[in-house]
Amino acid sequence: MAFSGAYTFADWATREHFAPKVQDVVFNSNAVTAILRKNLKTLSGGRRIESFAQYKKKSGHGFVGKSDTLVASFEQQHDAAFWAWKFQTEPVGLYIADILMNSGEDARFDLVMNENIAAAKKLADDFGSAMFATDYLVGGGAAIDSLDHSVSNSAAVDTEVNFSATYAGVARATTGDGATWNANVDDTTTTFNVSAANDLWLDCTEGSDMPTMWCSNNKAYSFFYDEMTPIQRQDAEVLTGKMGFTSAVLNGAPWVVDSHCPSLDRVVPASPWGSTPTSEYVYALNTNYIQIEAHEDAVFSYWGNKEPVDQFSVIGRYWFMGNVTNYNPRFSGKMSALTA
């Protein structure tokens, strides 16, 4: 059986049919993956995923009078950025004895459905974990390029344990052309406050380009909640004992909670997705420039084998081939030292 959009379908099916019956030990708070899937772009192939990284200003310019001579020479204005294809797979194994023991159409359907849902959710969970991995060489470099590495700069410290001053093959630098490949990192603010968050927001803003969402784990969300709840109560027109608020928006961008965001409180990321951070992380992301790139034939797709390979079972696999690309890191940022 083939499920297109494996994560979305599996999440719905679990909540609709199975959640009351089973203990789901796979995190289902995978909000950033679900949001980025809306920007998903499919490619037909190629040796790697490529794009222009940035363009430079020409030096041979000026204002020319009618008696002046214009001299023009070739200058390299574009740098190339490239991301490698990454492969992810999750097997579905159905032992033939289990199939025989679940005779009858309904029982067999439930067996196959449960096995597929478990595999699809695990694939999505691993994808979300890799996307926020604090060690971007996790798995020997086999995993997708993490957002945490893309939202970084040439002076990155702390949990990016194998930091390299490049992203997508483009060298970062503190000044000059490479500085535009830096994201905005606040690694000094330890106590969350709206002023510091706004400063990060403004660092990520240029004209009409600004972050489209905030994301964090539960603990960092509570920092924002504690900061804003008293203000919300004071501004309420009707004071009837209502406590707190039901949605969080800062500078017009929603704040979403994703269980995969780095957090000391929740011990995220867990092995093998990098070192556990010493603080809570908050990301300000511009999703207009961040998207999942996938091969058109492997978009969280299901492929089934017609014959068993090496055991007495029926086997299939969920597949993803692609990467997560950030074309303009300077429009995103993170707070990586929050403790209160």
78-95: pLDDT as tens digits: 678 889 999 999 888 877
User: CA triplet 135, 139, 144: central angle to 5 degrees?
Assistant: 70
pLDDT at position 138 is: 79
How many other C-beta atoms are found inside a 10 Å radius of the C-beta of residue 180?
17
Q: How far is CA 316 from CA 13, 64, 296, 303, in A?
A: 19, 68, 19, 6
Instruction: Say how far apart CA 211 and CA 209 lie, in whole Å.
Output: 7
pLDDT digits (tens, 9 = 90+) for 140-152: 789 999 999 999 8
Rounded mean pLDDT, 172-198: 88
Pairing verdict, β 49-55 and 78-83? antiparallel
What is d(CA 52, CA 78) in angstroms, rounded to the nearest whole number? 7
pLDDT tens, position by position, 268-285 = 998 888 888 999 999 999
pLDDT of residue 301: 87
Q: What is the mean pLDDT of the chain?
A: 82
Look at residue 122 and tell me whether its pLDDT is greater than 80: yes
Tell me what the mean pLDDT of segment 247-264 comes to.
Answer: 92
Residue 77 has pLDDT above 70, yes or no: no
Three-state SS at 198: helix
Measured at the alpha carbon of residue 223, what is the angle toward residues 135 and 231, in degrees to the nearest 5?
Answer: 150
| Contacting residues for 33 by C-beta, under 8 A, at least 6 apart | 7, 124, 127, 128, 131, 258, 260
Residue 264 has pLDDT above 50, yes or no: yes
Structure tokens at 50: 């490529």
- Is 260:32 a contact under the CB 8 Å cutoff? yes
Residue 41, strand partner residues: 293
Q: Which single residue is written with the structure tokens 């909000």?
A: 31
Contact 107, 115 (CB under 8 A): no
In the chain the domains, ranked by start, together with CATH numbers, are 6-54+79-338 (3.90.1690)
Residue 8, pLDDT > 70, answer no
- pTM equals 0.83
| pLDDT in the model for residue 101 | 84
Quote the pLDDT of residue 285. Answer: 97
